[in-house]
Amino acid sequence: MQAKQYVEKVYEDLLKRNEGQVEFHQAAKEVFNSLISVFEKHPEYVENGILERIVEPERQLMFRVPWTDDKGNVQVNRGFRVQFNSAIGPYKGGLRFHPSVNLSIIKFLGFEQIFKNSLTGLPIGGGKGGSDFDPKGKSDREIMRFCQSFMTELSKYIGQDMDVPAGDIGVGGREIGYMYGQYKRLKTSYEGVLTGKGLTYGGSLVRTEATGYGLVYFVDEMLKGKGKNFEGKTVVVSGAGNVAIYAIEKVHQLGGKVITCSDSNGYIYDENGINLDTLKKIKEVERKRLTEYVKYHPQAKYTEGKGVWSIPCDIALPCATQNEINEEDAKTLVKNGVIAVGEGANMPSTLEAIDVFLNNKVLFGPAKAANAGGVAVSALEMSQNSMRYSWTFEEVDAKLKNIMKNIYENSVKAAKKYGFEDNYVVGANIAGFIKVAEAMMAQGIV
């Protein structure tokens, strides 16, 4: 059987076995499309069923999470943890608390995490989890009760040498703290079982900034590869959460100007450049909507219900959620002169949008490479926990920058080796896959 037919057959089987899981299908298809040339050169991967095994999670957990609200009413949510692949290390991946969470989304995120974690060069496998619980509008006590109930069940399946979750959408320092407290209470063990912890109890410096900083470091490497940089560039960012805020901060430090940010209701356009102090105050301190921004900066414009991709820019950084850039958005960005796109969110561009960027020679940093900074610093937090030691901000930031540079260089090398020069999507997929495949080969059919 030819490599292309083999890949198509495995994908068809995946569709049948995971019916209706459209996000997972999309993530798998994007990776599969990149691997045909790998199987042509490595028939041993086919003989050992690497692809069939890598798309099937080692363990899928779904559980009930009962909790009581402030009025004493019983609420019930669903909890998830998909432990996808542990060939190169303990499962590692965030927990997402959002009403949209379902098994398909957790599986797409966990599958991406396998390759993202591999690319970091650190010994961590792929996993993901979360719940359809919505922290918005909940009191601190309600969030605490939910997190304690969630961790009571999850604690049976995680540990510092087995599975080390982190935060994701809806899970920040507050939620990590409540979950860590409950884990410690249940296990009577003070260990590095969660990352993204507070600095007073085992957290790492730069963890808050890591995904946003790492994204910009990766895009900067892409630009440098073509003799360019961020200096004087106009940048459009979506999102207003952790990733977006610190991507904006690093762009400003490198001499670029970010003119947009957004939340689920709409977006801010500030031609003078987004004021980071105001954004942090609104989102990190007051936890309010972006409409507040214009109260502090009347010259800025707030637009409700639309995305930011119609705004002309040199560089686009999608940092909000999956599939936020569709084919038409991509065409608009290209028409308006975009030279580089870096994915700060997980799978923010549709497959059709990615094709538009690649066909028009736009520098495109795929999520599994460009947003790997968060999990990279999570793994560095694990290392510090194991050593009972803390590195300085400068030390961690330097390690992060070096990891992102290595991810870029390894993606470039893999793309060139397999005949896809300048295609960082294919390069990242292949570089991430081969490391895991070799580990799976060495460990036998398990």
Q: 246, exposed or middle or buried, with CB in 10 Å at 0-12, 13-18, 19+?
A: buried
Distances from the Cα of 165 to the Cα of 57, 107, 220, 326, angstroms: 16, 15, 29, 30
First to last CA, the chain: 24
Question: How far is residue 76 CA from its own chain's centroid?
Answer: 27
Q: Which helix (H) or strand (E) holds 301?
A: strand 301-304
Binding residues for NAD(+): 211, 242
SS3 345: coil
DSSP-H helix ranges across 159-312: 173-187, 210-225, 242-253, 276-280, 293-296
Q: Give the largest Cα separation in the chain, rounded.
A: 64
Q: How many CB atoms lie within 10 A of CB 251?
A: 26
368 is catalytic: no
**Which is catalytic among the residues 16, 71, 128, 197?**
128
Strand (E) positions, 44-171? 59-68, 74-85, 91-97, 125-131, 163-167
Query: Is the Cα dihedral 114, 125, 134, 99 positive or negative?
Result: positive
Residues of each annotated binding site: 92, 113, 116, 167, 211, 242, 378
Binding-site residues from annotation for substrate: 92, 113, 116, 167, 378
Catalytic residues: 128
